[in-house]
Structures are given as C-alpha cells and as structure tokens.
Amino acid sequence: MSTQHLLSLLVENKPGILTRVAALFARRGYNIESLAVGTTEIEGVSRITVVVSLDGQPLEQVTKQLNKLINVLKIVELEEETSVARDHMLIKVRTDSSTRSQVLEAVTLFRARVIDVVSDAVVIEVTGNAAKCQAFLKVLEPFGIKELVQSGAIAVSRGSKSMSEKVIR
Amino acid sequence: MATETLTGAQALIRSLELLGVDTVFGLPGGAILPTYDPLMDSKKLRHILVRHEQGAGHAAEGYAAASGRLGVCIATSGPGATNLVTAIADAHMDSVPMLAITGQVNSFSIGTDAFQEADIVGITMPITKHSFLVTRAEDIPGVVAAAYEIATTGRPGPVLIDFAKDAQNGKFEFSWPPKIDLPGFRPITDPHGKQVQAAAELILKSHKPILYVGGGVIRADASKELLALAELLHAPVTTTLMARGAFPDSHPQHLGMPGMHGTVPAVTALQKSDLLITLGARFDDRVTGDIKSFAKGAKVIHVDIDPAEIGKIRHADVPIVGDAKVVILMLIAELKAQMKDSKPDYEDWWVFLNGLKERYPLGYNETEDGKLSPQYVIQRIGELSGPEAIFAAGVGQHQMWSAQFIKYERPNSWLNSGGLGTMGYAVPAAMGAKVAQPDRLVWAIDGDGCFQMTNQELATCTINNIPIKVAIINNSSLGMVRQWQTLFYNSRYSNTDLNTGTDTIMVPDFVKLGEAYGCLAIRVEKIEEVDAAIKLAMETNDRPVVIDFIVGRDAMVWPMVPSGISNDAVQYARDAAPIWDGDE
C-alpha cells in the first residue's frame, strides 16, 4: 500500500541542495510525486515542498536521511487537517465559437481565470487543492486539452506558528 | 583581527596547518598545481607523494583509522579526482574521518568539458558526508574549517572540497579563525536521560543479554568505558568486523566476532539472546544474515550517534541517540544506581555460552596439498607481533582469517575495508597507519589478488622511508570468490585463478616485484620457515618487507553462514552444523 506524505523542508540556499535532496529520494527508492522550491521570508533559506509516496517504508527513515544532509535545516510533515495545500495549473484548452461559452462557464464555476484568448484556444489559470484541480481538468477534458503545466503542491500550516521559528539562531 | 594577503592556495595550506593537520597524501596535476607550490614551503605539513590517487585515499583512511585523527588526501581534477572515488566510498561506509581535496578547472570553464574536467562534487555526492565546490579564494578558510568540523564531528565520514584553479590563484585578506556557519549540522552527542534509564531497566530485567559492539565504539574512543560496562554486568561481548580490538580478545567475556564468518558462540549468543545491547553497530547484513530470523527473541537497545541508523534495519525497543562514550558512562552510572548492591544473575546464560566456547573454538584443518595453512601463517604473525602492532587487511579470505586468528587487545590496531569490501586497501592503509604511528609495527596482510591492485605504493613506502611489512597470503587465486564457487557453484572455478602460486607460471613473481620496489622480499613455503621470516621482517626497518607466503588454495573460511540464510544455520565446518542440546 502506498501512502502519500507532504513534507516541508527548510534548506540553506546552497548550490546542489536540490540535487542532494532529489538524489537521496532516488537512491533510497522513495517516489517523488511533486516538488516545489522557492525562497522564503528569510534570506538564504529556501523551502522545498515535496509530496512523496511510500510503499511500506516508514516516513521516519525518509526524514532521518534528509536530516543528515548538512544543508537541510528543518523538516516537518504537514497533515491535511492542520495545513493548507495548493496546486497551481496553467491549461491551454481548445475552443471554438460553439464551445467557448461552456469553457468560460466552467472557469467561473471553479473560480479559475482566463489569462489568454485566441480564436481557437484559451489559457486558463487555476489554483486549489489537488482534488479541485483534478475535478476541473476532468470538466475541461472533453473540449481538448492542448497543453497542461502544473506546479508541485505548496503548503503551509494553519495558525500563527511559523516553520522557520527556532531554525535560525 | 590581523589579516595577511594570501592566495587561495596559500590560505588552503595555512588553514590545514592551523587545524593541526600534519600529513597529506597526494599526487599533483594541472588544476591543483597552485596549491602544490606553497605546499613545498610548508614546515608543518608533510606531503607524501603516492603513485596512484587511490593509494592516497586509502593512506588517508589508514592514517585516520590508526590514529583517530583526520586523514587528508589531495588529487588533481578529472582522473585524479575520480581515482579517489573508491577510497571516498570506502571511508563513507566505514565512517572514517577523511578530507579529500581536489583541484578543479577554472570556475569560468566549469561545465564546458574542459581538459581534465569532471564533476567530482556530483560524482561523490552519495558517498560523502558533505562536499563543497569553492570558486572564490576568500571562501577557503571557512570551507576548510567547516569541512574539518563535519568530517570529525558526530558520525565521522569523508568530506570533499573541490577547488577551482582560479580560487587557488585569487588573492584575499586571510584571517583566522573563520566563522563556521553550519546551521543544519547539529549532531546529538548527549543522550536522553530517560532513554538511558529505560535501557538500564531493560538490562536488569534480561536473563540473556549480549553486548553487540560495532565500529562506533572505536570511533568514539569508548573501549575503556565498554570494558567497565561489560565487567559491571558480567555480560558476554561480541565485536563486529569493524570493532575488532574494541574489547580485548583475551577477556573471558569475549565471544569473538559475529556474522557470516563469526564464531559459533558469538553467532549463537545473538540468536538465543533476550536483549541486544547494541553499541555503535548497524545490523549489517553480514552480521544478521536473514534479518527476519535474526535474534528473534531479543529486545533491542540501540545506541548510535547517527539517528538514521536506529530502526533502519531492526526495530529498537530503546533507541538512544548519542556518543557511545557518553552513553556508556551514563548507562554505568544508571545501572549502579538501579542495581544497588545486587548484581544481575546470568549464571544459566554463561553455562550455555561456556559450553559453546568449549565445543566450538575457532580452528582449522591442515591443507590437503601440503602447502602452508593460511590460518597458521596469520596466527603466527599476530602472536609474534603482539597487541601493540597494527594490522591492515584487504578483503576476502585473508581478511576474515586476520579478523579471526589475530588476537586484538586494543582499539585502532585492526584496519580493514569492512563495509565496501575494497580490494587494494591493505598496502596503502598500512602505509598511512605507519606514517601516523611511526613507532608501531605495521603489517599489511594481503591476498595475492588484493595486493596486485595497489602494490605500487611500495615505491612510496621505500622512497619515503615508511617500513611497512607486507604478508601476501598467496593462494594463487581470488580466494573468497573461489570458496563460494566451491560451495555454491559446483567447484566450477570461473576466472578465479591468478597464477601467482609456485606450481603456476608465477606472474608476477612477488619476490622479484618486491625487490624491484626496493623492499626486502622473500618467499616462504615451509612451516619451519614461517617464524624466522616474520622475525626477519620485524627486525628489518631500513626498507619495507614483502613476504610471499605460499599457502594452500583449498583452505576455506569457517565458520560460515551462507549469504541470505538464517544465522541459526551457522556451519562450523563444511556440512557440519553445531549440535544443540535439548531445545536451547
């Protein structure tokens, strides 16, 4: 049985850190479902959000191995109930005069946005949790999806506490 | 703070000096040339010019393993750096504190496939504790100090620094000490008091405990503390291949080595135990055999400085993250407090274990072809050299016999390639050990296969006056592979003949080879010559010594648990399983 976990890593923004993290996953046979990297509110510190799917391996081994990397500052697992996670998608959908209004209706229903329109296609931007994004895609599929690009999930815990507290001394 | 204008190369040398490094093993080339220039003027750094970079790496390992200090090796970019890879991987598996310094092409040429360019940081990422690429001279002191800290603190390991040529040439204002900025590196050395308390409770409740001791005890310099703990409890001790010497072999509580070629008492004690007191060991597959059937009835206390080792292979009932020395001292204090005046009673356990020791001592048969018994040769080397000597082995039969038949009484006296199993480790490691401990007698006990991988370092030894002794246990074959072919492949000897024995064409002739390298080299074929040859080697200190011991090729390493099989099936000799009384 494979289970998905969403991990947030605070890392030093040093060359090679992404390779080190990715290589560790590859070497130990952990499967990365999605990955998002960016800078944070602290200079020199980046945040990696990784969704990993594990086949029976304990998550603890993953976090312990990641913690051994010198440039990794902190790791937390964000649980669904106590955190907010968002995916971001850009979707190019085939449209013509007969289908455009139906597509635009779906855009409104899912609170997505149209960011480019030409005569035979529209580009749509949608943000939401993974389930919403998948549902939206399903609605668009019959019209013909020409191109799909998505970010990995990014996530933050609910409440006022910050992950970076106590990390930087 | 006073500063001084230095080049990056000068700063590198100065930083190493200031960190207390006294020896580096290396070989220059284009991209590291700037560093070799100030190295020539250093009064504090001895550079030993090797003949192959792998030798520099293993020499640094031997230096570190014999002394407990950081070992340092240097190579140029590209092929120089890639030649270090085996030694770096070896140091990573065996937790050896090592610093590998490599030259790199100019920073503006990196990524252009420049001459002798290799992405050595990328190549070594999975086999180093950490690595750095330095492209600016001013970063050098901080990086070198950080590398030293990482390599030697917590669980030791290899760190690589790749220096772009322009970083070596650049000038900057040098000051010392630099600020070491490692916010993500916080090894835990002091254990959790509650865990130590829980461990003591578990120990005092157990009836059949065993101290399962790994190389971590040697790296933590905790042998004295281990002895005190073992004697306080009067519990049996087993020392893994990496821990030989952590506990005296002469001690009556010592059961010997566990694992694939462990003693019957050690293997069986682990299987029958109700509590493994695991100290700096990692449940390696060569120790546990089939993990599902390993020590099924035992609870586990697991002490390790690396949290990732705990629970990796075997669940720990009481996990303790900490430095072995600190943990053992705390455990002794806690046990004393909990025991008050009573002592745990392991009487029945010892009756069983002593029975095993009596019935299944280590032994060997004479060879059938009338040639020397390799075990006898190795045993005599150990007996005549004594416990103050250092013994380095490669990998294979000679390594196992050296682990079994030499009696170790002190830590850092046994050096070998345990985790990686690197052929060619012994000669350069012995060289490094002799440089670190010049007053000790240092033996490389090597196989005829292993010896042919790195014997060119004998030139380094002769020229630099490093008088090591090499005992080639020459069975004219890749002996351990041949043993498996005998046992598991119907004696079909596919590509294991090396033709170095006296009844072959003898290529190469190891005596001639040794002489060519300036060594005293002799061949020993008869039992009555063995002692005299060993004594001659011990008396000869103006050059290295090579002894070509011609031994029987059918000798096998026993006891043995075949790979992947339960340790319950340990064989004392071929087709001879121990006989168990009753249902013990």
| Phi, psi values for residue A61, rounded to 5° | -60, -40
Q: Do B311 and A70 touch (CB under 8 A)?
A: no
Q: What pLDDT is stored for residue B580 in this prediction?
A: 61
Using a CB–CB cut-off of 8 Å, the residues of B that contact A are 121-122, 125-126, 129-131, 133, 150, 182-185, 306-308, 311-312
The number of helices, as runs of H, and strands, as runs of E, in chain B is: 23, 19
Interface confidence, given as ipTM, is 0.91
Query: B426-436 vs B53-67: helix axis angle to the nearest 10?
Result: 50
Are residues B13 and B40 in contact, defined by beta-carbon separation less than 8 angstroms? Answer: no
Among A135, A138, A111, which residue's Cα sits nearest to residue A125? A111
A84-154 folds as Alpha-Beta Plaits (3.30.70)
**Minimum-distance CB partner of A73 among B126, B130, B183:** B183
Q: Where are the domains of chain A?
A: 2-77, 84-154
A2-77 and A84-154 in the same fold: yes
Q: How many CB atoms are closer than 10 A to CB A35? A: 17
Instruction: Tell me how close the Cα of A44 comes to any Cα of chain B, in angstroms.
Output: 11
For chain B, domain boundaries: 4-174, 193-359, 374-550
Q: What is the least distance, in Å, from the CA of B422 to any CA of chain A?
A: 21
Query: Are B548 and B476 in contact, with CB atoms under 8 Å apart?
Result: no
The C-alpha atoms of residue B96 and residue B398 are separated, in whole angstroms, by: 22
- Contact call for B126 and A23, based on CB within 8 A: yes
pTM over cut 0.80:
yes
Report the DSSP beta bridge partners of residue A37: A48
Predicted confidence at residue B378, as pLDDT, reads: 98
Residue B219, sorted as left (phi over 0), alpha (psi -120 to 50) or beta, turns out to be alpha
A29 interfaces chain B, CB cutoff of 8 Å: no
Instruction: Select the residue of B122, B126, B133 nearest A27 (Cβ to Cβ).
Output: B126
Supply the DSSP symbol for B180: P
Q: Residue B164 is encoded by which pair of tokens?
A: 């772009």
Residue B508's alpha-carbon distances to B9, B88, B516, in angstroms, are: 42, 29, 12
A70 and B183 within 8 Å at the Cβ level: the answer is no
Cα separation, B215 vs B130, in Å, equals 21
Q: Which CATH superfamily is domain A2-77 in?
A: ACT domain (3.30.70.260)
The single-letter code of the amino acid at B287 is: V
Contacts of B311 in chain A (CB under 8 A): 58, 60-61
pLDDT of the residue at B582: 44
How far apart are alpha carbons B403 and B241 in whole angstroms?
Answer: 7
CA distances from B152 to B95, B97, B145, B437, B484 (A): 10, 5, 11, 19, 38
| Contact residues, chain A, for B304 at CB < 8 Å | none
Instruction: List CB contacts of A37: < 8 A, sequence separation 6 or more.
Output: A18, A46, A47, A48, A49
In B, minimum Cα distance to A169 occurs at: B183
pLDDT, tens digit (0-9, with 9 covering 90-100), for B491-526: 999 999 999 999 999 999 999 999 999 999 999 999
The bridge status of strand B299-304 relative to strand B275-279 is parallel
Return the closest-CA partner of residue B70 out of B159, B199, B1: B159
The partner residues of B212 in beta bridges, in order of sequence, read B238, B278
Q: Closest-CA residue in chain B for A63?
A: B308
Q: What are the residue numbers of the active site of B?
A: 53, 115-116, 165, 480
Model pLDDT, residue B11: 98
Q: Which CATH architecture has domain B4-174?
A: 3-Layer(aba) Sandwich (3.40)
Beta strands in B155-201 (DSSP E): 158-164, 171-174
Q: How far does CA B396 lie from the centroid of its chain?
A: 14
Amino acid at B404: Q
Residue B574 burial (C-beta neighbours within 10 Å; 0-12, 13-18, 19+): exposed
Q: What is the mean pLDDT of each run of 10 residues along chain B (584 residues)?
A: 91 98 98 98 98 98 98 98 98 98 98 97 97 98 98 98 98 96 92 97 97 98 98 98 98 97 96 98 96 96 97 96 98 95 91 96 91 98 98 97 98 98 98 98 98 98 98 98 96 97 96 98 98 98 98 95 88 77 45
Tens-digit pLDDT profile for residues A81-110 = 999 999 999 999 999 999 999 999 999 999
Q: What is the pLDDT of residues A103-159, one digit of tens each?
A: 999 999 999 999 999 999 999 999 999 899 999 999 999 999 999 999 999 999 999
Secondary structure letter of residue B289 according to DSSP: S
Report pLDDT for B46.
Answer: 98
pLDDT at A169: 42
Count CA atoms closer than 13 A to B493's CA, side-chain side: 13
What are the structure tokens assigned to B107, written together? 């920073």
Closest residue on chain A to B185 (Cα): A70
Which chain A residues have a beta carbon less than 8 Å from that of B130? 70
Dihedral over alpha carbons B521, B27, B450, B86 (to 10 degrees): 170
Cβ neighbours for B72, distance < 8 A, ≥ 6 positions apart: B16, B21, B23, B24, B25, B60, B98, B99, B100, B101
Which member of B130, B183, B308 has the closest CB to residue A169? B183
> Do the Cβ atoms of B307 and A67 come within 8 Å?
yes
pLDDT score, position A1: 64
Name the pairing type of β-strands A83-94 and A145-150.
antiparallel
Q: What is the pLDDT of residue B484?
A: 95
**Contacts for B51 with CB less than 8 Å, ≥ 6 apart:** B27, B456, B457, B459, B460
Is B193-359 in CATH node 1.10.3430.10? no
Residue B581: the pLDDT is 52
* DSSP string for B460-487: HHHHTT---EEEEEE-SB-HHHHHHHHH
What is the fold, at CATH topology level, of the domain defined by B374-550?
Rossmann fold (3.40.50)
A31 band by pLDDT with thresholds 50, 70 and 90: confident
Please compute the mean of the pLDDT values over residues A49-55 and round it to a whole number. Answer: 91
Which residues does B539 contact at the CB level (< 8 Å), separation at least 6? Answer: none
Residues of chain A with Cβ-Cβ distance to B308 below 8 Å are 61, 64-65, 67-68
Partnered with residue B48 across adjacent β-strands are B25
pLDDT of residue B564: 85
CA-nearest residue of chain B to A60?
A: B308
Residue B88, token pair as written in the block: 């770096």
Tell me whether domains B4-174 and B374-550 share a fold: yes
Kindly state the tokens that stand for B294. Answer: 């390993």
